[in-house]
Structures are given as structure tokens and as C-alpha cells.
Structure 1
Amino acid sequence: MSSNSTTTDKKQAILDAALQLFVNKGFNATSTASIAKAAGVATGTLFHHFPTKNDIMNQVFLAIKQEFADNMVTSTQFSGDIEQDAYTLWQKAIDWAIAQPLKQLFFLQYSMSADIDVMIRKQAMTSILSFVVELIEQGKQQGIIANFPSELLLENCHGQYLAAIRFFTDNPHLGGDKIHRDASFTLFWHAMKAQ
């Protein structure tokens, strides 16, 4: 095993351990020592990769957002029909949340938390999720999506998504129910579309 892959493995072990601890114990109750112990690395190794616990939190957040975004666009055929493309992405987002319960719980606990730096949240929303920004802009240009400030629309999308995954987390037996899944999209779409 090369030194580079060992470094990558240790860094990933730290992120994986932090994710588990942040979800189970909370950010403030999780110490860097407990993260290092759960990751099976020395505390010095943890600080080599991440100078602070906030750096770990921000990296966990960005890594999960990137995984989420990659899942959303992989094998998605955009039709050019804004509502249909939004529906497809919405359903993929719900599928991802159901398939990734720990990461979904992290989103629910921390997506709007002050524990995530504002600039990191903005980077995730505008850069990592740029395909959503593009869809909103196209929809606004076509008069399909309400002509509200794009940043506000993006935050609304995010809030609607968190509400939907909270519902499906609390009611896992409805995660595969088409009526509830479609209703969750309709609620989201009504909040976005032009009147």
C-alpha cells in the first residue's frame, strides 16, 4: 500500500468516524480525541489532516453534499422539461436519503446548523449543487419558476427537501409509497412555480 493511499485511508477513517459521532452524540459532545479513537488513528494524525473539529465538520458536510450531487446527476437524462427534470431529481434525492440513513440524519441535524460555516454552506449550494441552480435559472427564464431571488429559491428547495426527508424518516413505511412521494414533490413544486 502506498503512502498516499494510507494517508487517504486515514483521512477517510477520520471523516467516517466523525460522521457517526456527530450524528449519535452531537457536534459539541464529540471531542477530537473520541474521533481519533473511533477512527483508529493518533490524535496527532487527526490534527495533521484537520486542524480543528470545525474543519472536520465542514469536510464531512462537503463530502456528503458531493456524494449526494454525484448521485443526483449520474444517469439522469435531462429532458429540458423543467418540471419533469425537477421531478426526476426530487425522486432521486428521496431515494438517496432512504438509502443513506446515517448521511440523511446528518443532513437533518446539520444542514441549517451554525456548526457549518456559512461560506461552506454557500459553496455546497452554489458550486456542488450547480445543476440545481442552472435548473432554477432556466425555469425562471422560461417563466415556469417564480421570479424570486435565486439564492432564496435555492434555500427554499433545500428546506422543502429537508421537510420531505424528515417525513420519510419518521414514516419509513411510506418511503416507497408513490402517493406520498408524488405529494412531496407537488408541495415542493407549488412553492417554486410561477403563479
Structure 2
Amino acid sequence: MTIEHATKKQTDKKNAILTSALALFVRQGFHATSTASIAKAAGVATGTLFHHFPTKDCIINHLFLTIKQEFADTIISNSQVTGNIESDANALWQNAIDWAISEPLKQKFFLQFSLSAEINAATRQQAMNGILGFIVALIEEGQQQNIIAHYPVDLLLENCHGQYLAAICFFTDHPELGKDTSHRHASFQLFWKAIKA
């Protein structure tokens, strides 16, 4: 077996563990999901699971960061930066809604666990300021131009996150409105009015 083949096999097992954990956490909740059930669903030995993730907490925190990175990569790649703060914020917002609609299981995971105690402070900090650093940069640029309110950036970032979760919860409950332009526009306007100067 080549090194590349062995590495791919390990990556495949790790991905299978994460995919299974995602489905089980969303369906059953964190506490009702055992590591043994994750390993079984992933088709790996329990020892293999512990080789990749020493604890169930490690699994959920890794999963949170992995999905948050995918989310960030997708909304950035589908946005064209114009330099107009409101227009750029709207593009990111609409792309974020598109991602949520196209990834319902991952979005349900965010709705369930974004504000839960299972996601530790270090993971939350890495997600908000590292992975979503481009949003921090947009907020800071907006504040420099006196377009976005001069509140503490970390507080604004949490507010943006909460507004997004509220909008996505609405569109998750009313999927037929996820493609409705007036509702999509209204969701952004509610968000924008909360942060603009």
C-alpha cells in the first residue's frame, strides 16, 4: 500500500465519522448520540474513531469548524466584491441563504448547536474571527466609512450571527419562501437596519 493510498483511506474514514456524526447529532441530539453509534454508522471500529477524535466533544467541535469553513468558502466564492459596503453585505447575505437552502442538514446542525454549550469558546472564537474574518473586515471598513454603526466589532459580529440564524430558522420553517425575492430582500433589510449607522 502506498503512502498516498494509506492517507486517502485515513481521510475517508475520518470523513465517514464526521458525516455520520452530523446526521446523528441532528437527528438524536448530542447527548443521545454515543461514540459507538457514530462508529457503527460510519462503518469503522470504535478504536478508529478514537484515533481521529479522542472524545465526542472533539468530534462536534471539529465538525462545527469544518462546516463553518465550507460555509465561508462557498459564500465568498459566490460573491463579487464591489467596494460598496451595503451591496457586498447583501451579496454575502443572499449567498449565505442559498448555502443554507442547499445544505439543509448542515444548516440544521448550525441552528441546533451554534449557541450550545457543546461548542467550546475557543472553537466559537476561531469560527467567528478566523474563518469568518472577512465579515469582520467588512464591518470594520463599514465603520471607517461611517456606514456601519460604531458598536464593538465582536458584539456586532454576534448580532449578525443571531440575525442570520433567525432568518434561516424562518426559511427552514417556510422553505417555499426561500426563493421568494421579497422575503429574501426583507430578511436582508431587517439585518442591515440593525447594523447600519
Which band: TM-score by shorter chain? over 0.9
Q: 1:187 is matched with which residue?
A: 190
**Separation of aligned partners in 2, 1:181 and 1:163:** 13
Alignment map for 1:1-195 (pairs within 5 Å): 2-194=5-197
**Separation of aligned partners in 2, 1:120 and 1:78:** 28
SS at match of 2:192: helix
CA contact (8 A) 2:25 2:109 kept: yes
**Separation of aligned partners in 1, 2:155 and 2:109:** 23
Q: Deviation above 4 Å: which 4+ runs of structure 1?
A: none
CA contact (8 A) 2:149 2:195 kept: yes
TM-score normalised according to structure 1 size: 0.98
CA contact (8 A) 2:74 2:99 kept: yes
SS at match of 1:2: helix
CA contact (8 A) 2:78 2:95 kept: no
Shift of 1:76: 1.8
CA contact (8 A) 2:13 2:42 kept: yes
Deviation per residue, 1:151-185 (Å, 9 max, x gap): 00000000000000000000011000000000000
Shift of 1:23: 0.2
| Aligned-pair identity (%) | 66
**Separation of aligned partners in 1, 2:23 and 2:169:** 19
Shift of 1:75: 3.7
Number of residues paired by the alignment?
194
Q: Which amino acid aligns with 2:69?
A: Q
TM-score normalised according to structure 2 size: 0.97
Deviation per residue, 1:122-142 (Å, 9 max, x gap): 100000001101000000110
CA RMSD of the aligned region, Å? 0.7
**Separation of aligned partners in 2, 1:149 and 1:123:** 18
List alignment gaps of at least 5 residues for structure 2: none
**Separation of aligned partners in 2, 1:80 and 1:140:** 14
Shift of 1:77: 1.3
